[in-house]
Structure 1
Amino acid sequence: MPTSATSNHSSRPEDLIGCLNSAQAPCEAKLKALRDLKNQIIGNRTKKLAFLKLGAVPSVVSILSSALAAASQGGGGDNREFHEHVLIQSAAAIGSFACGLDAGVKAVLDAGAFPVLLTLISHLNEKVVDAGARSLKLIYQSKLAPKYDFLQAKNMEFLLSLLNSKNENVTGLGASIITHSCQTTVEQQTLSEAGVIKRLVSLLGGSTNQKDASLESLAAMIKENPEVASKFMGPENGRALNVVIQLMKDKYTRTKLLACMCLISIRNTSTSYLQDSEIKNTMVIVLLELLDDPGQVGDETPFVLSSLITEKEYMQKIAFDANVIDKLCEHLNTDSFRAKRLQGILLALGDLCSKLECCRDKVLDLQVLNFVPEALAHDSAEVRAAACILLKNVSRSVKNLSAGHFMNEAIAVPLIELLCDSTTSVQIAALGAISNVVVDFMAHKSVFTKCGGLKQLVQLSKSMEPAIRVSAVWALKNLAFCVSNICKEEILLELTLTTLTSLISDPETSVQEQALALIRNLVDGTPNSIDFVLGEHCTILHAIGRQMRSASKAEVLIQGMYALSNMASGNELQKEAVMNQLLPQAGSDTETLLVKFLQSIDSRLRTATIWALINLTLPSSPGTCSRVTALRSAGIVCQLKNMVNDPCPDVKLRASMALEQLMMFGDAST
């Protein structure tokens, strides 16, 4: 009994760390402590965190370094064998800390383990090499792993030596380095030119681990690089593509998933590849089956599915016909699963709803919106963002917006709360969803304002983060779409003319564009709504005029011109105010904005400018005659006559309309 008690006591984390740090502890005791520590933390996140808190990693790395130094000093027999055992156990313990835990990876890297583990790769003992390679592979599964510089010749030489090794874990390490660090076109090209593709292709015929590592690395090298994809598909790599296609039917689920991922990378790089509908259908069916995997493969499958269908309507239709939405929703009904899987399912559903109305209807029919409020309040920022993306895409439907499916307090309240989220990506995702949801018909928009949404959007329009600022103004623009004058006044009172003026001249052109589009919506209506925006001193109008004279981005000019066009549809005072912005002061030799924009190479800007002319010259307006005279003097009539044969049908039609109105006030021959 006393022996048992002593044994239990020595296995306590504090005692194990104490033994590892003790200068008096026998070497054999330290080796045993290493084994005990390793065995306790394998697959046990709680234990890992407990040992991390006690500072275990620096202790283990110190022992690893000492054993490596001792082994390098020579000696043989039992002494060398003992040090090699220590190297193996300490490397394994370090790998266990790094496995699936970023906090563990950080501790390992901070303790200086990485270069020591790299040294083990050249050790004479194959078991030591294997232990070092395993640990490094686990480190390279984390985003925190150091970036490998392929552009240095010595690094490329080392990488090739890894890939050419006969040790399975060493070749796997080489592939893992590629998967983690190959991110740029230059890196992809450098690896390709060094013959890496051929070596990776050869690994497709190796063990399961080698196949998996090769597939993942090939996907990283080929991604969005047509030249590398072409080389992979070339004759020098034989029937590599057919091998990958066959691996979709492998008996191992991870191999199937990675084969799909590799094929998707090829397909997304160039649409000329993998046009066979049978292959596309097979990928969808395989991924559908893999969704049922209870482990990591099942967690990753929705993300791979998303990469297959995102922005591809034909693939979304194939997925819809294969009942992928039903399967994803079936998994949503599962009581509990990991946050990553929930994130992936929400993203996949969001991608499926990005193009097709039938997918949106299906998602609504299966009552997926019932899961959204809870997902919007999830502990995981990634899940919250994914829920926003789903909501954004499923709300791309006039029919469903008009039915009021999205603008209710159950969704509005948690969505608005995310505008104050501590994670920027969540805020941006929430703003994206809100931008769609607030397009909802007038009867439902009051819910958003009532829940504090308007106030939050105005606050975010002043954010120092450009992406948040533009998204907030975009949402305000959509909130102002087709609303009553009372609602417009409410928006402007909260926003203030001062803030709106500053947004027009924001340093970011995308913010300028959305600010002008917001004004366009605010002045789309009666003269009263135009008056309210213009203010007593026409501050907003002057700001627009300044921006129109200084901006160069077509999208900014187009929105500015449509804002002016809407103002020009108002009363006489409003029309004259717009004319003063579009025509130069008397005696000025500056080219008028009207002529400049009518001659633009952008047909959208030409169309917007003609609309302003049409609104300025409405025959029913008492001051139109004098405006026509001014426009004729500015050469506008001649310019319009040249545009009746414009290559753009819309421009041609509007130019004819404008000329017809002008001719009502006299000969339009000049």
Structure 2
Amino acid sequence: MPSATVNSRRPIELLSRLASDEPEVKVRALREVKNQIIGNRTKKLSFLKLGAVPAVAGILADSADDVMDSNCDNNNVNNILVQSATVLGSFACGFDAGVQAVLDAGAFLNLLRLLSNSNEKVVDAGARALRMIYQSKLAPKYDFLQRKNMEFLISLLNSENENVSGLGASIITHSCKTSLEQKALFDAGILRKLDSLLEGGSLSQRDASLESIAAIFKNNPEVISKFAGPEIGRPLSSVIDLVKDRYPRTRLLACMCLIVIRNTSPHFLQDLGIKTTLIHILLELLDDPGQVGYEAPFAFSSLIAQREDIQKLALEANAIDKLHHHLQKGPLHPRHYEGILLALADMCSKLESCRSKFLSLQVLNLVTDALTDNSADVRTAACICLKSVTRSIKNLSAGHFMNEIIVIPLVQLFLDPSTSVQVAALGAICNVVVDFTTRKSIFIQCGGIKQLVELAKSMESAVRSNALWALKNFVFLADNRLKEDVFSELTASMLSSLICDPEPCVQEQALALVRNLVDGYINSIEFVFAEDGLILGAIGRQLQSSSKAEIGIQGMYALCNVASGNEFHKEAVMHQLFPQTGDKNQSYMIKFLLSNDSQLRTATVWTIVNLTCPSSPGASGRLEKLRNAGIVSQLKNMVNDSCVDVKLRVRTVLGQSMGFGDN
């Protein structure tokens, strides 16, 4: 008959046993705490609430002090040190609340003290616990620029204990963020040591070294050049060899290291074979059932992002098919789900051939399903994926995206509690509403316009900006009735307020919205004259005060469209350009014509073209005012402008002025 099992003691009882004066009782209690919390976040949280971490940290501190007492039983003390360090490491493992509790309890420095203990097991336990802490973003940042700290780091990397040397590598990965720190580590010979661990170290040491090398390389082409050059030897070959290692995590980390090199210094790793190998390995790693599989799509994204050549290779390697297959397999871990959606987003970000493949496989249906996932990160990734796919002009023109299956869930996400989801949903809808058919009513019927107007009042500038961007795209080439619907929701006072928003990105989108509102129908121009010309006045003030070219471009195009109207409209624009006489106003127009930004020069000259149209009765008077302000003279200096658009429109203005007797 099997013996009865003994139930685990309750947390409160265990905590009381931790306070025992008997070393054996204390060690057993520590072991049981460790066994209960390993891999169990719920248990960890339960013990945290009862104050277990400060209690264990106190035991560690007392025992570390006891080591100095020659009369103590070193065997008992060492057992307590090992178990208390192990418990603290278990609390910190993959659990930020546990890391914070360990740091708050003051255990960090005592764990560091264990590294100088004469007992190898104590050293190993301390190093393991510290490595758990350094997996978290909450870990203390290490200052490599202090000589004593660099010497300590080198001593860690030189240790025969793989957890100690691994700790050194983990510290680098966590703390190396600036080019100055990267250079200091390189100059201290750290890369040589890490390279030796790549070639002769254990599995754990190799993996930790790969992460550290990537941290030292990131965005630092100078260090990469030295590493890959003759000064060090053949370390780059070591990394390349490891992409074919038998262990999945090592392959992933080696790929990530090479991707950092490729993204930082594109002239390295130009070999087509290496690019293809990276693609195939990362796609294979998607099948890994654990953390490696979850992280593989993120590495794949970093490889292909903004790189059409690699996206083409990935398409040829059936990347979209394989990513689609994973989505079809059913419930996915949120991290895996998010990564696959982002990988699809990057695949479809540039090439129409990739978008066509995506749509032909009907991946779109699976992505829209992800819009209602429980994870905010997954919902955000789904929106980003939709944004990439809906860049397809061909399918936008055909109205394939303006349907209830896509529009309704996106509009519902406008009210998502997560700001990142809201911003991503707005980004996706910005493309969807650029619909060249007459089906925009779907968006209105599901409350899209009202929601966008409300979001334009958000406290978050990114939300305000994206909401205005969506409204701008919605009214692009829209008929006057739709524009009136939008304007009636916005109101002139609200739009003029947004034009003067504290954030430049919001100002730019508000001006761009006005530009599209007044484009096309002459009746649309009247929008800027509502409420005694609030909007037109706001445009003038922004152009007068802003130093950003982007704001000037949108503001001038808005005035350009107004100036395409009747005589009253043209004179109103002149009033904004020249509200009073004086050098200040002259420099305002001249400044735009002298801008290094060709788009701003184009918008400014185009406005002048509309103001001086010969068929307009007041053109002669306006031209005279422009001439007196020195603008015509400046235009004559621009007849050979480097920008073709500017050159053509300058010549148009000068041709029109000749009709009024100007030579």
For Structure 1 versus Structure 2, the TM-score category normalised by the shorter chain is: over 0.9
One-letter amino acid matched to 1:201 = D
Q: Is structure 2 residue 387 aligned with structure 1 residue 392?
A: yes
Q: Any residues of structure 2 matched to 1:540-579 within 5 Å, and which? A: 540-579=535-574
Distance 1:4 1:60, change over 3 A: farther
Pairing partner for 1:301 from 277, 296, 301: 296
Q: Which residue matches 1:347? A: 342
Pairing partner for 2:248 from 245, 253, 278: 253
Instruction: State the Cα deviation string for residues 623-661 of structure 1 (Å, max 9, x = none).
Output: 334334444444444433332222221111112222233
Contact between 1:95 and 1:135, CA under 8 Å: does it hold in 2? Answer: yes
Q: Is structure 2 residue 161 aligned with structure 1 residue 167?
A: yes
Question: How far apart, in 1, do the equivalents of 2:590 and 2:55 lie?
Answer: 76
Pairing partner for 1:59 from 50, 55, 59: 55
One-letter amino acid matched to 2:478 = V
Q: Which residue matches 2:15? A: 17
Q: Is structure 2 residue 513 aligned with structure 1 residue 515?
A: no
Question: How far apart, in 2, do the equivalents of 1:100 and 1:19 lie?
Answer: 26
Q: Any residues of structure 2 matched to 1:263-282 within 5 Å, and which? A: 263-282=258-277
Q: Which residue matches 1:474? A: 469
Contact between 2:586 and 2:630, CA under 8 Å: does it hold in 1? Answer: no
Instruction: State the Cα deviation string for residues 239-287 of structure 1 (Å, max 9, x = none).
Output: 0001111111111111111111111111111111111111111111111
Deviates most, 431-440 or 630-639 = 630-639
Question: How far apart, in 1, do the equivalents of 2:204 and 2:601 lie?
Answer: 60
Question: How far apart, in 2, do the equivalents of 1:406 and 1:15 lie?
Answer: 61
One-letter amino acid matched to 1:369 = L
Q: Any residues of structure 2 matched to 1:272-421 within 5 Å, and which? A: 272-421=267-416
Q: Which residue matches 1:133? A: 127
Q: Is structure 2 residue 490 aligned with structure 1 residue 490?
A: no
Q: Any residues of structure 2 matched to 1:27-106 within 5 Å, and which? A: 27-75=23-71, 79-106=73-100
Q: Any residues of structure 2 matched to 1:594-609 within 5 Å, and which? A: 594-609=589-604
Distance 1:12 1:4, change over 3 A: farther
Question: How far apart, in 2, do the equivalents of 1:587 and 1:93 lie?
Answer: 76
Question: How far apart, in 2, do the equivalents of 1:565 and 1:370 lie?
Answer: 42
Q: Which residue matches 1:227? A: 222
Question: How far apart, in 1, do the equivalents of 2:245 and 2:438 lie?
Answer: 55
One-letter amino acid matched to 1:421 = D
Q: Any residues of structure 2 matched to 1:585-624 within 5 Å, and which? A: 585=580, 590-591=585-586, 593-624=588-619
One-letter amino acid matched to 2:367 = V
Question: How far apart, in 2, do the equivalents of 1:468 and 1:388 lie?
Answer: 14
Q: Which residue matches 1:580? A: 575
Deviates most, 317-326 or 404-413 = 404-413
Any idea what SS the aligned residue of 1:8 has?
Answer: coil
Q: Which residue matches 2:636? A: 641
One-letter amino acid matched to 1:118 = L
Give the CA deviation at 1:71. Answer: 2.5
Q: Is structure 2 residue 149 aligned with structure 1 residue 151?
A: no
Give the CA deviation at 1:522. Answer: 0.7
Instruction: State the Cα deviation string for residues 375-412 of structure 1 (Å, max 9, x = none).
Output: 22222222122111111111111112233333333332
Mark the runs of 5 or more structure 1 residues left unpaired by the alignment.
none
Give the CA deviation at 1:586. Answer: 6.0
Give the CA deviation at 1:106. Answer: 2.5
Identity of aligned residues (%): 62
Question: How far apart, in 2, do the equivalents of 1:422 and 1:154 lie?
Answer: 47
Any idea what SS the aligned residue of 2:565 has?
Answer: coil
TM-score by length of structure 1 reads: 0.94
Question: How far apart, in 2, do the equivalents of 1:486 and 1:311 lie?
Answer: 39
TM-score by length of structure 2 reads: 0.95
Any idea what SS the aligned residue of 2:402 has?
Answer: coil
Contact between 2:23 and 2:80, CA under 8 Å: does it hold in 1? Answer: no
Distance 1:536 1:295, change over 3 A: closer
Distance 1:60 1:588, change over 3 A: closer
Any idea what SS the aligned residue of 1:443 has?
Answer: coil
Pairing partner for 2:111 from 100, 112, 117: 117
Deviates most, 166-175 or 34-43 = 34-43
Question: How far apart, in 2, do the equivalents of 1:585 and 1:63 lie?
Answer: 78
Contact between 1:438 and 1:475, CA under 8 Å: does it hold in 2? Answer: yes
Instruction: State the Cα deviation string for residues 559-588 of structure 1 (Å, max 9, x = none).
Output: 111100000111121111112222464687
Contact between 1:524 and 1:530, CA under 8 Å: does it hold in 2? Answer: yes
Contact between 2:492 and 2:531, CA under 8 Å: does it hold in 1? Answer: no
Distance 1:245 1:565, change over 3 A: same
Instruction: State the Cα deviation string for residues 425-465 of structure 1 (Å, max 9, x = none).
Output: 22222222222222223523222232233223222322333
Distance 1:413 1:62, change over 3 A: farther
One-letter amino acid matched to 2:6 = N
Pairing partner for 1:182 from 168, 172, 176: 176
One-letter amino acid matched to 1:533 = V
Question: How far apart, in 1, do the equivalents of 2:382 and 2:70 lie?
Answer: 60
Contact between 2:131 and 2:166, CA under 8 Å: does it hold in 1? Answer: yes
Distance 1:633 1:46, change over 3 A: closer
Instruction: State the Cα deviation string for residues 128-151 of structure 1 (Å, max 9, x = none).
Output: 111111111111112222222222
One-letter amino acid matched to 2:76 = F
Contact between 2:176 and 2:182, CA under 8 Å: does it hold in 1? Answer: yes
Question: How far apart, in 1, do the equivalents of 2:332 and 2:657 lie?
Answer: 68
Any idea what SS the aligned residue of 1:444 has?
Answer: coil
Contact between 1:302 and 1:344, CA under 8 Å: does it hold in 2? Answer: yes
RMSD of aligned C-alpha atoms?
2.2
Give the CA deviation at 1:338. Answer: 1.1
Question: How far apart, in 1, do the equivalents of 2:531 and 2:71 lie?
Answer: 93
Give the CA deviation at 1:9. Answer: 4.2
Distance 1:14 1:407, change over 3 A: farther
Question: How far apart, in 2, do the equivalents of 1:120 and 1:582 lie?
Answer: 73
One-letter amino acid matched to 2:417 = S
Any idea what SS the aligned residue of 2:70 has?
Answer: coil
Question: How far apart, in 2, do the equivalents of 1:244 and 1:351 lie?
Answer: 25
Give the CA deviation at 1:507. Answer: 2.1
Question: How far apart, in 2, do the equivalents of 1:126 and 1:273 lie?
Answer: 42
Question: How far apart, in 2, do the equivalents of 1:43 and 1:581 lie?
Answer: 67
Give the CA deviation at 1:53. Answer: 3.9
Question: How far apart, in 2, do the equivalents of 1:457 and 1:348 lie?
Answer: 28
Distance 1:251 1:623, change over 3 A: same
Contact between 1:372 and 1:411, CA under 8 Å: does it hold in 2? Answer: no
Distance 1:592 1:161, change over 3 A: closer
Pairing partner for 1:200 from 188, 194, 204: 194
Distance 1:285 1:335, change over 3 A: same
Contact between 1:526 and 1:570, CA under 8 Å: does it hold in 2? Answer: no
Distance 1:572 1:210, change over 3 A: same
Instruction: State the Cα deviation string for residues 324-382 of structure 1 (Å, max 9, x = none).
Output: 11111111112222111111111111111111111112222222222233322222222
One-letter amino acid matched to 2:172 = I
One-letter amino acid matched to 2:192 = K
Any idea what SS the aligned residue of 2:183 has?
Answer: helix
Instruction: State the Cα deviation string for residues 184-217 of structure 1 (Å, max 9, x = none).
Output: 2222222222221121111111111111111100
Contact between 1:420 and 1:427, CA under 8 Å: does it hold in 2? Answer: yes
Distance 1:549 1:29, change over 3 A: same
